[in-house]
Chains A and B, each alone.
Chain A
Amino acid sequence: MIERFLPVASTYAGDIDFVFDLIFWTVGFWFLLAQGVFFWLLVRFRKRDGVRAQYVTGELKSEKRFITIPHALVLVCDVFIVFFAIRVWYDVKQHLPEAQQTVRVVAQQWAWSFVQPGPDGRLDTADDIKTVDELHVQVGTTYHFQLVSRDVVHSFSVPVFRLKQDVIPGRVITGWFEPTRTGTFDIQCAEICGIGHGYMPGRIVIETAEQHAAWMASHSNREIAAASGPAAGGR
């Protein structure tokens, strides 16, 4: 259902949507049923001439079942939801598939910046590609991301991936994603991080292998040229 409003662009986005839908419909069913019974009771037992109101203590077995039976059924639904939620949580947050690429995501007040390996395929070497506001990735590739913060707590949120992960100063938090469709999508900060929080825009550009190779080549050249000259650094 949510995919009608927000594209699905990662391998696990569909699983998260499934849990979302499961919760929505399960809770929605009980909500509508409870409201239906409530209004039916209001109408059915409305004020009538000659009929006195009765105070129900809820102590009789015949009365208690109106609480205990729905309660048990709701608990069964809870277990059902938790079972699927834990399975998805494990796949997204606990399980770390082998990476084909690793990128570093740097959060600060109030910008996202990114470091990705250059042609040598390794981070923290001279050919690293550093960008601000834009992360370029290749579709169909499993990425590990290393989240670091330069100042306060942020939250790395990519809605089309259904990914949200807090960024904690002093810690390197590793997670993963695999993009499944090309396009340009939002990266947001999902944790209030100061007065500029709402103006902390980032974009993720998901490219085909050819497009990504061309982007890498253009940026690698520029970085290597910059690194070899006196004007080293910068985007």
Chain B
Amino acid sequence: MISRWKRAARGVAFVLSAVALAAPATADEGSRGRELYGFCRQCHMDNGAGNPLYLAPNIAGLPEWYVARQLDKFHSGIRGTNFDDVAGMRMRPVGIWLEKESDRKAVAAYVASLPIVEPAPTLVGGDPERGKALYAPCSACHGPDAKGMEALGAPALDHQDDWYLLTQLEHFKSGIRGSKPQDVQGAQMRPMAMLLADEQAMKDVIAYIMTLGGAPKTAKE
């Protein structure tokens, strides 16, 4: 009687082990990234277009290396641990949750695979003509067409939300972002943001960046 129960228990254990071992083998990185993106879509939406209500920017089609790097920064606390960075602190749990580097890379690959979504303009009052001149220093790293350069650690800006660009420029300027010693790329951005004297200058340069993507060029007043 006992041996029969033992045999049955062994059989169940074998089947469970086989299922557990088979699962990772059949799941490629893409499906892993899609599965993990389930957490992200709560704020960044299914298509990665983001939602300003949740302070979540458009991430659809961002370069994989850039998304992976930012996730690493949220994971290690380089981003998302500043008292005044409300949106960053909302991202921090995602960085903590994505404990394995391989998972962060899988999510980054999935985000990069999402089709680009042209953001709707929300800012008013920016002058792209003035912005074009102000953009000159930015083009050294982000490129003349704002497509970004991986070698310089500069992401593409041409399909980014204008409200997010403004927030990040303000954060770089005030030191909310980029003031951690470990944040090498952030430290490079800080002096660049300081070149923009005031909010008007930031809006101007953002208005010019918006002309480089395929988004509608002006926000509704």
- Bound-state CA distance A109–B81 (Å) is 13
- Also in contact, A200 and B93, with CB within 8 A (given A150-B86, A233-B82, A235-B83): yes
B176 interfacial by beta-carbon distance below 8 Å: yes
A162 interfacial by beta-carbon distance below 8 Å: no
- Also in contact, A199 and B96, with CB within 8 A (given A110-B90, A231-B190, A233-B82): yes
> What is the chain A residue whose CB lies nearest that of B54?
A109
The answer, among B80, B92, B97, B176, for a CB contact under 8 Å with A234, is B176
| A-contacting residues, B173-221, CB 8 Å | 174-176, 179, 190, 194
| Stretch of A71-79, A81-89, A129-137, A208-216 at the chain-chain interface | A129-137
> Given contacts A108-B89, A199-B97, could you give 12 more A-B pairs where the C-beta distance is less than 8 Å?
A109-B90, A110-B92, A111-B90, A111-B93, A132-B83, A133-B81, A150-B86, A195-B93, A196-B92, A226-B179, A232-B174, A233-B82
Write the A177-219 contact mask toward B (1 if CB under 8 angstroms, else 0).
0000000000000000001101111000000000000000000
Residues of A in contact with B (beta carbons under 8 Å apart): 106, 108-111, 113, 115, 130-133, 150, 195-196, 198-201, 226, 230-235
- Bound-state CA distance A233–B80 (Å) is 14
- State the Cβ distance, B38 to closest chain A Cβ, in Å: 10
- Bound-state CA distance A231–B187 (Å) is 11
> What is the chain A residue whose CB lies nearest that of B177?
A234
- Bound-state CA distance A131–B90 (Å) is 16
> What is the chain B residue whose CB lies nearest that of A112?
B89
The answer, among B39, B96, B174, B175, for a CB contact under 8 Å with A201, is B96
- State the Cβ distance, B103 to closest chain A Cβ, in Å: 14
> What is the chain B residue whose CB lies nearest that of A129?
B83
Chain B residue numbers with a CB within 8 Å of A230 are 175, 194
Chain A residue numbers with a CB within 8 Å of B96 are 199, 201
Chain A residue numbers with a CB within 8 Å of B93 are 110-111, 195-196, 198-200
The answer, among B39, B82, B194, for a CB contact under 8 Å with A235, is B82
Chain B residue numbers with a CB within 8 Å of A232 are 174-175
Chain B residue numbers with a CB within 8 Å of A200 are 93
Chain A residue numbers with a CB within 8 Å of B179 are 226, 231, 233-234
B89 touches A132 (CB 8 A): yes
| Residue from the set B93, B97, B175 with the largest chain A CB neighbour count within 10 Å | B93
